[in-house]
Structure 1
């Protein structure tokens, strides 16, 4: 297990599913954890689970679209737990399904705003102190549509592709100061988000492949991404900063492949050259 003793981790979307598992893994590796999300009851449950296992955690209800609220939350983390060593942006919204002429424009934009603007706000809030201390790691979760088309999921896909590019740009801006940023695709995990896709009328109509994949047994345990992120937080994959890692992969094999991935410019968001 990764050793995160003496570190402080902030995990957004930490009230359930993948986010709760990430928070628990960070705590079990020794980190003090701040669990952030909009629903107080859920993150309080996450914090209570960590405390029950002997860890230290606080729960902070946050609307990540509100920059002032985010900045106040990060200040509270620093005051209560100490400087932030690891930030994991796990929050996500995917409620606009279908072709854009059928999607509610406000819902479509809300997905983009929560996913992308929320990530911008948290990164902006922690970056100056990380740079000043000369260390820090940020993990931004991506997913379906990051590198390929996602028919009838354009808002979510556009936001995740943007987060991938943002992660690379951000990493290239801060890496010389000892700060590293990563993108992680957890794979298809059964969460409240995918339940909405499975059982809502719009989801059944426009995203039938989700049900098919689950029927075929594709259901990645959230612990896979959580364990990977704990290793990232401990520095195991620093060579791959600015790139995308996947929860489904064998971490030992990934470590062996790091030099080749960097040499080939793999796991990055790139356009195919016209002369290829």
Structure 2
């Protein structure tokens, strides 16, 4: 039986790629079961929302160091990270606080210089910081807000990746994750600014693998599902009921994925709502059919 257009759209955006999907964290991705001792993490957008939750999940997994980068004050999160690590029986991690505008090259370079003065390398770079302009038809949009999507979500990712790549390539993990979105795979009227950027970073990962894969870089994308953070004020109100996924699920998923190098995920897209054990079980199929990548099928 032929699929309806609704079913095709759902499948094209990754819905039910795994039989089981989640809205909250679950036992299989519990970060307290992960050992990330010796690993150093740098994440952007650390002061709140997904960034804060990721920092705490990495702390539960026992990372040796974490660099928290944001334009806003990350001191409260730094304190939580140390408390969380110690509460879960891990040594106090080294926390670097970086006050940085990722859209400004001088700011990003200053951050890299500070990290380099403390660490010889970083193992995992999480490009989490993002911006979402109000969803409006293109002719009604504010040009500055519309373009701000690209300044943060694309230029910011480019500057962070370009600047920190030498430190990343000095490590054994050499892993970079960018936060994409299910919006990269469908067209929701009003989302021309934000959703286009989330598609652009998938293509950027393809270039990174083409240019630096031979040097050991591993770059892939994770979509956070529908999480109601401070950023979603501009999202269409009639769809807010879909924002039912917890930030802890997203954070724990990323820790689960990065606990080891998974070369087969290079340049691919992962939805954090997918069941991770089921995703791993599909590894051979994913590689054989070259799934979870953006391409034209004719």
TM-score band (shorter)? 0.7 to 0.9
Counterpart of 1:12 in structure 2 is: 44
Give the one of 47, 57, 71 matched to 1:25.
57
Unaligned runs of 5+ in 2: 1-32, 87-91
Q: Does the residue aligned with 1:101 lie in a helix, a strand or coil?
A: helix
Counterpart of 1:200 in structure 2 is: none
- TM-score, structure 2 as length reference: 0.82
Q: Compute the RMSD of aligned alpha carbons.
A: 1.7
Matches within 5 A, 1:133-144: 133=171, 135-144=173-182
Q: Does 1:102 align with 2:134?
A: no
Q: Does 1:120 align with 2:158?
A: yes
Counterpart of 1:34 in structure 2 is: 67
Q: Please state how far the C-alpha of 1:246 moved relative to its aligned partner.
A: 1.3
The answer to whether the 8 Å contact 2:180/2:201 transfers is yes
Matches within 5 A, 1:218-237: 219-235=244-260, 237=262
Q: Please state how far the C-alpha of 1:145 moved relative to its aligned partner.
A: 2.1
Q: Does the residue aligned with 2:147 lie in a helix, a strand or coil?
A: helix
1:136-171 alpha-carbon deviations (Å, 9 max, x no partner): 100000114212212101100111100111112212
Cα distance in structure 1, aligned partners of 2:256 and 2:274? 13
1:200-257 alpha-carbon deviations (Å, 9 max, x no partner): xxx5xxx24422424xxxx111122212211232225331121011111111111111
Counterpart of 2:287 in structure 1 is: 262
Unaligned runs of 5+ in 1: 198-202
Cα distance in structure 2, aligned partners of 1:248 and 1:130? 27
Counterpart of 2:125 in structure 1 is: 87
- TM-score, structure 1 as length reference: 0.88
Bigger shift: residues 180-189 or 170-179: 170-179
Counterpart of 2:240 in structure 1 is: 211
User: How many aligned residue pairs are there?
Assistant: 258
Give the one of 263, 268, 271 matched to 2:296.
271
Residues 134, 182 of structure 1: alpha-carbon distance in 2 compared, 3 angstrom cutoff: same
Cα distance in structure 1, aligned partners of 2:238 and 2:282? 31
Counterpart of 1:187 in structure 2 is: 225
Cα distance in structure 1, aligned partners of 2:188 and 2:182? 7
The answer to whether the 8 Å contact 1:131/1:174 transfers is no
Q: Please state how far the C-alpha of 1:82 moved relative to its aligned partner.
A: 4.2
The answer to whether the 8 Å contact 2:121/2:171 transfers is no
Q: Does 1:149 align with 2:149?
A: no
Counterpart of 1:49 in structure 2 is: 80
Matches within 5 A, 1:154-165: 154-165=192-203
Cα distance in structure 2, aligned partners of 1:179 and 1:234? 16
Cα distance in structure 1, aligned partners of 2:270 and 2:240? 25
The answer to whether the 8 Å contact 2:42/2:69 transfers is yes
1:176-203 alpha-carbon deviations (Å, 9 max, x no partner): 2112011000100110012x13xxxxx5
Q: Please state how far the C-alpha of 1:81 moved relative to its aligned partner.
A: 4.2
Cα distance in structure 2, aligned partners of 1:175 and 1:231? 22
Counterpart of 2:149 in structure 1 is: 111
